[in-house]
Each structure stands twice: as C-alpha cells, then as structure tokens.
Structure 1
C-alpha cells in the first residue's frame, strides 16, 4: 500500500462522533481548539501544541471542540502497515514502549513541520509517491525520537481486507460472489471467514461507506449531497438518517467549513 497524504480537519462548532474505530495507526496534531477521546475506562484530551497517537483497532467517542476559538483545526495522518514495520526495525525505535490505545504528547515545530509536509501540495504538480513515503516515515521516526512507537501489524484479518477493497469502489453493488472472485476464494469460504469474525458483508460495506463519508465531510468542501452520492447513497435524506444513526450527529454539523464560507448548520435527521 502507498503512503497516504495527511489531511486537515476543521470544525466551527463542537460535535462528538460515537464509537469511531481506528483502522490504521494514526497521529493527529491539534492546531486550534481541543480534541477529547472517551472510552469506557479512559479519557484523554489534546489541546493546541499537542497531538495524539491512536493505535489501530481501538474505538473511541471523539469530541472536536473549538473550545472558545474560531474553529477546531487539526492535521491528521494515518500510517500504512509496512511503514510501521519499517520504523519498528530502526535503531531509533528500539526498545521503546508501544502505543496500545492512545498517547498524548507535545508537538514541537520540527514534528509539526514534518506532518505539514505530508499534506497534498498546493501546486498542480503531484507529490511523487516515493517522496511522500519518505515524509510519512519521517513523522514516524520523529515520534520514535520523542519516545513513542506503534506496534507492527500482523497479517490483515478478513474484514479489513474486505474493507480496503470496498473502499476503492464505494459505488459498486458488492456481493459475496464478486468479492470471492476478487480474493480467489469460494463464496462459502468467504462467508465462513467473515462469520468467524462476527460480521457480515452488508455491515462491512455500510461501515466503510459511512467512515468514508465522515472523512470527506471533515476534510473537503464537497456538498453533503455529493458526499452521499460518492459513498453509494441515492437518497440524501436516507444518507442523513444513516449518518446520524452511526455517528450521533447529522452530516451538516460535521461539515468542515470556515465561518466565512459556512453552510447552514440547522439540518437535522
């Protein structure tokens, strides 16, 4: 898998996302406001000049709050598993404790600049994949130098394999037969492997569509209706209901807009 660009997340009012599952190890640097993570037995907050490392496979209620400022703003980056393994093997990471849930740490100028370099370039020329990969790895090394590292990933479980394939074509009418062909296994084998993980194809497809919609609303200026269409919903209203049922807030509240370009935030489910 190629390294992914970092992303900027903005919110002009406080909202809480329910049971957000962290799919890949991630780091979020808070630029304005406050990010708070809630779990049954834990509560962590990251303010300006702080960041939080989030371990894959953990689940949180996440509050993004301007906290008296003009907006909540943060830079977020998720790390491909192969870069986690590469960093783990480096001398800089040797013997460090592994983040098994979440870790709040100070964000100095060097670390912040490294995260900013992973953002998509403003210029028309795209960032070469090899260069982006090195920039993402730089962030991991800087985190290690500050005393923290992620645990290397094991082989991907079947639900995660399905998620990653479905994410490439959210519009598709995914069924077991199509996926079984893509993975070169029988339909019965694929069903058995998903059932053994306690899930179904329909649940996985719904979750990845809603997670992708959340990301688009937080990091782009696409209209809510277009986000719904891109994520496989033909009905704007049904998308709004599904989104609020999953995340606890309507899409309009999550919409990442600055105040001088804000949309109406009165939409409800």
Structure 2
C-alpha cells in the first residue's frame, strides 16, 4: 500500500501521518481547518505560551490561521501515527444550513481543542470517512457529505469551528504560493497576481511582519514536511515538487528550516 495525501475538490483532504523518530517541529502554519485522530503514540502541541498533550485515542481540532509547534512521541512499538482530515472552506457555508438552533452558542475552535471522550459511532464515522476519502474515488457530492458529517458530529459534542480568519495579504500570498510550489515567483509577479504594485505588496507584507522570500521558503518546506510524513514519495521527487532541482540543495534548505534532515523522518522508517 503506497501512502498518499488525497484531495477531493470542494470537500477536503485525507492523509495518514507516520513517524518513527521523536522530533521537535517548529512553527507550522495551518492553512485549513483540520481534525486529527491520534492512533499510536501521543503529541505535545505548543501554541503561543500554551502546551497541550493529545493522547492515543483522542482527537485534536485545529482551526486555520494558527501556527503550531509540536513533538510527536512514539508508542511502545516505535511508531507515531495519526489520521488527518482537512476541510475545504466552502463546506462551512453548507454545514450552517444543517446547524441546530444552538449553533450560535456552541464553543468555538479558535485555535486548537482536544476531544477526549469520543463516542464509538463518531470514531467509526471518522474512520470510514478517512479511509474512503483516502483510498476510494468518491463522487464529489458524496465526499462533501462525508466531510460535512464530521462537522455535524462535532456539533453534537458542542464544538464548532469559528469563522475563517481575516484575509491578510500574507494569507493571500501563502495561498498563491501553495498552489504553485514549483514556481519561483518574483515580487513583481506576486504583486501582479494580487492586483497591486510591488511597492504596495512589500509595504503591506512588512506591516504584517512578513517577507516574501521567507514566506516562499516556509510554504515549500512545510509542504515538503507533510509529504515526508504522509506519503511514500522519494525525497528527490518531493524536492522537485517544491521547486528544487537539486536534492542536496533541498535537504540543506530543509535542515535550515527545521533543524534536522529530511532523512530524520524518512531514512529509518520501518514497516508496521
């Protein structure tokens, strides 16, 4: 079985994360609302000054627009694994059509929220949705309904995601870059895509404490990390997908960003 990240347009994506080494992974930007089910091991999440532990058998709801640091700790058999569902933003307008009268007073997931006591029916629903999204070719409408079902389960537990964060220029640039990972944009090209001039782009990014070159590197390396954790693609293939012709140059940039080499995640993977 070849691991992959499977995206369904208009619905979301499904992936299975495996790790065989305990690594501190710093400052990962979350661009879509996610629901993560820890299967083996446990995770320590750092968000601002807070530290949260998520154990095996628990879920973590993460809203988009947050930057998290974390360490994934291995189970007794030397594995950390978690199943991940990420929603397409358009689903949130759909799910409000089915919301209960209490929707306006449900606790909101502004950043992260741990779900400790999972009804068996919710676990089964999540597992079925994750597996079918990942390994089957679902019709788009069925995929959307499966993903909406998970949001409705959360609402049954008194949880809903807050509305999406304000659309900053930094987020607009990230969206552009993540959909064009192989392309090395100039500032002028990014400004043209965002329908503003280059001076305005740089000024607005600076006001948001962002730098275009740093954003490009961060988007590429964050995507590469997820590919390393959730797929069986060769490192050379991952390097090419994120715009690097040279695997050694990619490895150098990856190490500079995260403090460890790509092979720290991939090089010593053992079959389950």
The equivalent residue for 1:218 is 229
The equivalent residue for 2:197 is 186
The equivalent residue for 1:17 is 25
Offset of residue 80 of structure 1? 2.8
1:11–1:256 contact (8 Å) kept in structure 2? no
Q: Quick one: structure 1 residues 173 and 21, their matched pair in 2 at CA, closer, same or farther if it must change by over 3 Å? A: closer
Q: Which of 45, 53, 57 matches 2:61?
A: 53
Is 1:122 the counterpart of 2:146? The answer is no
SS of the aligned residue for 1:178 comes to helix
2:42–2:53 contact (8 Å) kept in structure 1? yes
CA distance in 1, matches of 2:59, 2:134: 22
Of stretches 24-33 and 40-49 in structure 1, the one that deviates more from structure 2 is 40-49
Offset of residue 129 of structure 1? 2.2
Q: Which of 144, 161, 169 matches 2:180?
A: 169
1:223-238 to 2 correspondences below 5 Å = 223-238=234-249
Of stretches 99-108 and 77-86 in structure 1, the one that deviates more from structure 2 is 77-86
SS of the aligned residue for 1:5 comes to strand
Offset of residue 137 of structure 1? 1.5
The equivalent residue for 1:34 is 42
SS of the aligned residue for 1:48 comes to coil
| TM-score, scaled relative to structure 1 | 0.86
Q: 5+ residue gaps in structure 2?
A: 1-8
SS of the aligned residue for 1:159 comes to helix
Q: Quick one: structure 1 residues 52 and 178, their matched pair in 2 at CA, closer, same or farther if it must change by over 3 Å? A: same
Deviations 1:213-235 (A, max 9, x none): 01110111011121112111222
Q: 5+ residue gaps in structure 1?
A: 262-269
SS of the aligned residue for 1:19 comes to strand
The equivalent residue for 1:75 is 83
SS of the aligned residue for 1:232 comes to coil
Is 1:101 the counterpart of 2:101? The answer is no
1:118–1:135 contact (8 Å) kept in structure 2? no
1:46–1:52 contact (8 Å) kept in structure 2? yes
| TM-score, scaled relative to structure 2 | 0.85
The equivalent residue for 1:145 is 156
2:109–2:162 contact (8 Å) kept in structure 1? yes
Of stretches 39-48 and 210-219 in structure 1, the one that deviates more from structure 2 is 39-48
Is 1:195 the counterpart of 2:206? The answer is yes
2:42–2:75 contact (8 Å) kept in structure 1? yes
Offset of residue 197 of structure 1? 1.7
The equivalent residue for 1:131 is 142
2:28–2:69 contact (8 Å) kept in structure 1? yes
CA distance in 2, matches of 1:40, 1:144: 26
Instruction: Please identify runs of 4+ aligned residues in structure 1 that moved more than 6 A.
Output: none
